[in-house]
Chains A and B, each alone.
Chain A
């Protein structure tokens, strides 16, 4: 095998090994999922069609995530009647720290346990926090990776709400 052919084979192997990096971008359909939340209630993303959804990937070990959650909880209370639904997806490796945290710091929205499969469906959750704003039509409106400007996020929610509940 020639050197060039060897390099081509190596490149193909590398490509086949590489994790797919296709983050969900604005305009794309948000992958549907069904889970049971930590309180034991079924959560099916499709059931929230018609609502504006804030889908937040987080974990109990993630400082910036914990800083955001009280804001999200307040938004659920304030904007929930206007059509917002916040859903938290914990990427903790087990549910025990999640339960302990929520006991100390309860939130007003459902929390489900995520996994690698769900993360991959959303293009990979390789770092936290990661939040998607999903429109009433089930399509992604915005993606917020890392420490985000919560004022800008709230402004985006306010702008999108009238489309949900005119």
Chain B
């Protein structure tokens, strides 16, 4: 009788433990999804400043880097770096999928610049995820445009070349 109670208690504790583990895993997964990699995780050696990129794009050197906007469509449509392509938000799976697809046929040493500028650098949910994805794919010449405030303040209002989606 006593041994049966002990067995039942152990079974009960096992079930509770399993439920707790599943619950904690769910919480952890949610936390991971809610907190995208911060832009500050990008090494400074991988950053390019707006004036430097603008100079490269205006200059006679070729080939020019492929410039990809990894932020949000409504912002891209109003103004983006002259010649930049929109791929999707680096902070979500759909955007990262589009990014992988866009670069699939490029050689690994192709020069690529990614940028977002949706919000202040420390709050950008996109660039670090996109940078990490490209590095994981083996691209060795990936640069991230350092936009301290936002695209409007640090690129458009500085008079660097832009265009809007027709």
Are B82 and A119 touching (Cβ within 8 A)? no
Min CB gap B3→A, angstroms: 49
- How far is it, in angstroms, between the C-alpha of A126 and the C-alpha of B149 when the chains are bound? 11
Min CB gap B108→A, angstroms: 30
- How far is it, in angstroms, between the C-alpha of A59 and the C-alpha of B35 when the chains are bound? 16
Which of A17, A65, A119 meets B74, CB within 8 Å?
Answer: A119
Interface on chain A toward B: helix, strand, loop, or mixed SS?
loop
Contacts A124-B79, A126-B78 given; does A59 touch B72 at CB 8 Å = yes
Are A128 and B119 touching (Cβ within 8 A)? yes
Cβ < 8 Å to B, chain A residues 37-63: 59, 61-63
Q: Does A88 contact B (CB under 8 A)?
A: no
Q: Does A106 contact B (CB under 8 A)?
A: no
Chain B CB count within 10 A is highest, among A61, A93, A145, A146, for A61
Q: Does A32 contact B (CB under 8 A)?
A: no
Are A19 and B162 touching (Cβ within 8 A)? yes
Contacts A21-B157, A93-B72 given; does A126 touch B152 at CB 8 Å = yes
Are B78 and A62 touching (Cβ within 8 A)? no
- How far is it, in angstroms, between the C-alpha of A124 and the C-alpha of B164 when the chains are bound? 10
Interface on chain B toward A: helix, strand, loop, or mixed SS?
loop
Are A62 and B79 touching (Cβ within 8 A)? no
0/1 per residue, B72-96, Cβ < 8 Å to A? 1111011100100000010100000
- Return the chain A residue nearest B154 by Cβ: A127
Report A-chain residues with C-beta under 8 Å of the C-beta of B155: 126
- How far is it, in angstroms, between the C-alpha of A21 and the C-alpha of B164 when the chains are bound? 11
Are B75 and A127 touching (Cβ within 8 A)? yes
Min CB gap A38→B, angstroms: 16
Min CB gap B155→A, angstroms: 8
0/1 per residue, A136-158, Cβ < 8 Å to B? 00000000011100000000000
Report B-chain residues with C-beta under 8 Å of the C-beta of A93: 72-74, 89
Are A124 and B74 touching (Cβ within 8 A)? no
Min CB gap A19→B, angstroms: 4
Are B120 and A61 touching (Cβ within 8 A)? no
Are A127 and B118 touching (Cβ within 8 A)? yes
* A residues lining the B interface (CB < 8 Å): 14, 17-19, 21, 59, 61-65, 91-93, 114-116, 119-120, 124-130, 145-147
A selection of 27 A-B contacts at a CB cut-off of 8 Å is: A14-B161, A18-B161, A18-B163, A19-B156, A21-B157, A59-B72, A59-B118, A61-B89, A62-B118, A63-B119, A63-B123, A64-B119, A64-B123, A65-B119, A91-B75, A93-B73, A116-B78, A116-B164, A116-B165, A124-B152, A124-B156, A126-B117, A127-B117, A127-B151, A127-B153, A146-B149, A146-B153
